[in-house]
Amino acid sequence: MAAQALELLREVSRLEAPLEELRALHSVLQTLPLSELREQAAEMRLGPLFSLLNENHREQTTLCVSILERLLQAVEPVHVARNLGADLQRGLTHPDDSVKILTLSQVGRIVENSDAVTEILNNAELLKQIIYCIGGDNLSVAKAAIKSLSRISLTQAGLEALFESNLLDDLKRVMKTNDIVRYRVYELIVEISSVSPESLTYCTTSGLVTQLLRELTGEDVLVRATCIEMVTSLAYTHHGRQYLAQEGVIDQISNIIVGADSDPFSSFYLPGFVKFFGNLAIMDSPQQICERYPIFVEKVFEMTESQDPTMIGVAVDTIGILGSNVEGKQVLQKTGTRFERLLMKIGYQAKNASTELKIRCLDAISSIFYISPEQQTDDLLRMTESWFSSLSRDPLELFRGISNQPFPELHCAALKVFTAIANQPWAQKLMFNSPGFVEYVMDRSVEHDKASKDAKYELVKALANSKTIAEIFGNPNYLRLRTYLSEGPYYVKPISTTAVEGAE
């Protein structure tokens, strides 16, 4: 069959309008194993197929793209880079986006291969066309181009090719296409900057990082909202955070939050700015960030009082992030009764808000209340027990009620709350003393979908692996938990049938 494919490929290259042969070749390739194609790869002449892409014929182009996708999988990336460079170049300027995506997928293979990537770095025209793909209307094409350029920039040679040549001018030219394309270029620059301090230096020297930061702190509120997401991505790296601090950007963001009260349009950018500080706190030190930028904590508490579900959601998410480690929990504890009132609001929203906000509240509660066994102290356990009682009059019943609602996402989110507190003795006592709760945990018939079964299994595992569970739940219940654990999440109890003599 591979020989038949080769013969058809030769036939295609000889004809001017080989539509029937293309259809036949396409059909043969559907059933041909890739291993057989690889054996014949050396004999394949793919140039003629690329040239057929230039014809203004829809079906012919579609067939050629599909055939090339299959055949190129059998060809080594180095061979593609060395022998099909001109074809790739033409593919990137083709009016049909499917041809661009095919070409960029090959570029993607080449840049992942250390031997092949040098071929691309020596082809300035090809690199230029990849850059111009960022400016197209098709998002898939732009994303593939960004991914390839980001990958190229992982090497010193790639950084030099992109930032120390005319390609930088091409990048700046593409940015001027429109706002959307400008943000795409910023996305690329942030991706490259995040790799290492050296990569960041290349990007800052280019002037593009400075331009992004200027837009972040500018007057356009919609631009601010977009730019803060990218700056937050940069802040995920240690060298990125250092740079932002040295440039005074973190102080500027804090000052903008301070002035947000007098800005009627602050709702556009405030959620992103608050998220930025939430992520900053958890990546560095919650205590240091909250002490240095008190407006951050103040604004989070303020946002929970909002009537706007978007603001409440961001505040709840941020509290969840902040409370996800012990230092963050201690920062929240220092706010005293104010945090207890906030917990009451989160408990209320978990019961009464929209499904989406309920899930965000439950996720935040899970994050706030979880303490790993090795970090548990008497003080921390007293703190989480006190917090739990602030959520509602009967928090355990509240979450059990939510878990009984016919929505798998809510059910799983409520189970996550139980799992978060399952290794804490005070919570185990609450569960044991709550009528029917132990039976509810053991009952497999409650969960019907895979996600719910997995979530219940995690709860059982957290309980069964706790050192205090046997003492609090009693040995018989402890053994039932161990049995559930050993049977796995998807165990179904066999139904025994008794044969009755004479029954039909």
Q: What is the pLDDT of residue 504?
A: 46
Q: How many structural domains compose the chain?
A: 1
Residue 66 maps to a domain: no
Give the domain range for residue 444.
Answer: 411-487
Q: Is this prediction's pTM over 0.85?
A: no
Please classify residue 85 by burial: count the beta carbons closer than 10 Å to its beta carbon, then call 0-12 exposed, 13-18 middle and 19+ buried. middle
Closest by alpha carbon to 91, among 59, 138, 130, 135?
Answer: 130
Q: What is the pLDDT of residue 33?
A: 74
Residue 203 maps to a domain: no
Residue 452 maps to a domain: yes
**Residues 319, 342, 410, CA angle at the centre, nearest 5°?**
65
C-alpha 417/C-alpha 365 separation (Å) is: 7
User: What single DSSP character describes residue 12?
Assistant: H
Residue 268 maps to a domain: no
CA distances from 6 to 9, 51, 72, 103, 117 (A): 5, 17, 14, 22, 28
Closest by alpha carbon to 400, among 430, 364, 367?
Answer: 430
Q: Along the 504 residues of the chain, how does pLDDT read in single tens digits?
A: 556 555 655 555 555 557 787 888 778 777 777 776 676 666 667 777 777 776 677 888 888 888 888 888 888 888 888 888 888 888 888 888 988 998 999 888 888 888 888 888 888 898 999 999 999 899 999 999 999 999 999 989 999 999 998 999 999 999 999 999 999 999 999 999 999 999 999 999 999 999 999 999 888 889 999 999 999 999 999 999 999 999 999 999 999 999 888 888 888 999 999 999 999 998 888 999 999 999 999 999 999 988 899 999 999 999 999 999 999 999 999 998 999 999 999 999 999 999 999 999 999 999 999 999 999 999 999 999 999 999 999 999 999 999 888 889 999 999 999 999 999 999 999 999 999 999 999 988 888 889 999 999 999 999 999 999 999 999 999 999 999 999 999 888 877 655 555 544
Look up residue 446 and give its amino acid: V
Look up residue 136 and give its amino acid: G
Residue 479 maps to a domain: yes
φ and ψ of 149, to 5 deg: -65, -35
User: What single DSSP character describes residue 373?
Assistant: G
Other C-beta atoms lying within 10 Å of the C-beta of residue 133: 25
Element (H, E) at 8: helix 2-14
Residue 186 maps to a domain: no
Residue 427 maps to a domain: yes
Residue 430 maps to a domain: yes
CA distances from 415 to 107, 180, 458, 486 (A): 45, 41, 9, 20
